[in-house]
Amino acid sequence: MEMAKKGINVKDLAKELGITSRDIVSRCRAEGFPVQNSITRLTPEVERNVRAWFPPIGTPKKPITDIA
């Protein structure tokens, strides 16, 4: 039986979001998620939380609505 692959690892997600791996590891630990280091693979649930905590640099906080 093949094990299901977990999601992205911390260092790759940090690079994608423009933050440090340490930022992700620290926040995950503070929130009680079992993240050990930058090569830890994140579950989809933890990945969703991290993306919510750290939106990519340059992403507006609120959606822009059409003025027209």
Give the model's pLDDT for residue 42.
94
DSSP code for 9: B
CB–CB of 47/41 below 8 Å? no
By CB neighbour count within 10 A (0-12 exposed, 13-18 middle, 19+ buried), where does 56 fall?
exposed
Listed as ranges, residues in the chain with pLDDT below 50 are 1-3
Q: What is the pLDDT of residue 8?
A: 93
What is the structure's pLDDT at 3? Answer: 45
Structural domain boundaries in the chain: 10-53
